[in-house]
Amino acid sequence: MKIQIKQVMTLIENESGDYSAEVRNIFIDGNKIVSLDQAPEGFQAEKIIDGTGKFAIPGLINSHTHAYMSLFRNYADDMAFWDWLNSVQSVEDYMTRADVYWGTLLNCMEMIRTGTTCFMDMNIKSAEEKQGEESGAAGAALESGMRAVITRGLIGSVGEEYPDQQIQDVLREREIFADEDRIISWFGPHAPYSCMADNLQRIASLGKEYGMGQTIHLSESETEIENSIKEHGCTPIKYVADLGIFDIPTVAAHCVYATDEDIAIMKEHNVSVALNPKSNMKLGNGFMPAEKMLEAGVNCVLGTDGCGSNNTQNMFSEMNIAALVYKGANKKAQCISAQDVLSFATKNGAKAIGKEGELGTIKEGALADIVLLNIHEPQFFPSTNLISGLVYSATGAEAETVIIDGNIVMENKILLTIDEEKVFYQCEKIADRLGMFH
For the ranges 75-89, 158-172, 370-384, the lowest mean pLDDT is seen at 75-89
Q: What is the pLDDT of residues 263-304, one digit of tens each?
A: 999 999 999 999 999 999 988 989 999 999 999 999 999 999
How far is 432 from 438, CA to CA, in rounded Å? 10
Decide if pLDDT at 438 tops 60.
no
pLDDT at 189: 96
Contact at 8 Å (CB) between 356 and 347? yes
pLDDT cut 70: percent of the chain above it: 98
Least Cα distance to 124 among 145, 155, 146, 81 occurs for 155
In this structure, CATH architecture of domain 60-352? Alpha-Beta Barrel (3.20)
pLDDT at 92: 78
Q: What is the pLDDT of residues 268-278, one digit of tens each?
A: 999 999 999 99
**How confident is the prediction for the chain on average, in pLDDT?**
94
Q: What is the pLDDT of residues 334-381, one digit of tens each?
A: 899 999 999 999 999 999 999 999 999 999 999 999 999 999 999 999
Please report which confidence band the pLDDT of residue 437 belongs to, taking 50, 70 and 90 as the band edges: low
CA distances from 264 to 259, 348, 436 (A): 9, 18, 42
pLDDT at 75: 78
Helix, strand or coil, per DSSP, at residue 269: coil
Greater confidence (87 vs 39) lies with 39
How far is 244 from 346, CA to CA, in rounded Å? 28
Decide if pLDDT at 418 tops 60.
yes
* Domain ranges for the chain: 2-58+366-415, 60-352
Report residue 434 CA to chain centroid gap: 26
How far is 57 from 361, CA to CA, in rounded Å? 8
Q: What is the pLDDT of residues 112-156, one digit of tens each?
A: 999 999 999 999 999 999 999 999 999 999 999 999 999 999 998
Q: Cβ atoms within 10 A of the Cβ of 284, count?
A: 13
Query: What angle (nearest 5°) sits at the alpha carbon of residue 197, between those of residues 193 and 198?
Result: 140
Beta strands in 226-315 (DSSP E): 250-254, 272-275, 299-302
What pTM was estimated for this model as a whole? 0.96
Please report which confidence band the pLDDT of residue 211 belongs to, taking 50, 70 and 90 as the band edges: very high
In this structure, CATH architecture of domain 2-58+366-415? Roll (2.30)
Same topology between domain 2-58+366-415 and domain 60-352: no
Greater confidence (317 vs 433) lies with 317
Strands 54-58 and 370-374, by their bridges, are: antiparallel
Least Cα distance to 203 among 160, 233, 245, 238 occurs for 245
How far is 239 from 192, CA to CA, in rounded Å? 8
Q: What is the pLDDT of residues 186-195, one digit of tens each?
A: 999 999 999 9
Q: Dump the DSSP string for 12-80.
A: EE-TTS-EEEEEEEEEEETTEEEESSSPPTT---SEEEE-TTEEEEEPEEEEEE-GGGGGGTTTS-S--
Q: What is the pLDDT of residues 6-39, one digit of tens each?
A: 999 999 998 888 999 999 999 999 999 999 999 9
Decide if pLDDT at 202 tops 90.
yes
Average pLDDT over residues 76-100: 80
pLDDT at 330: 87
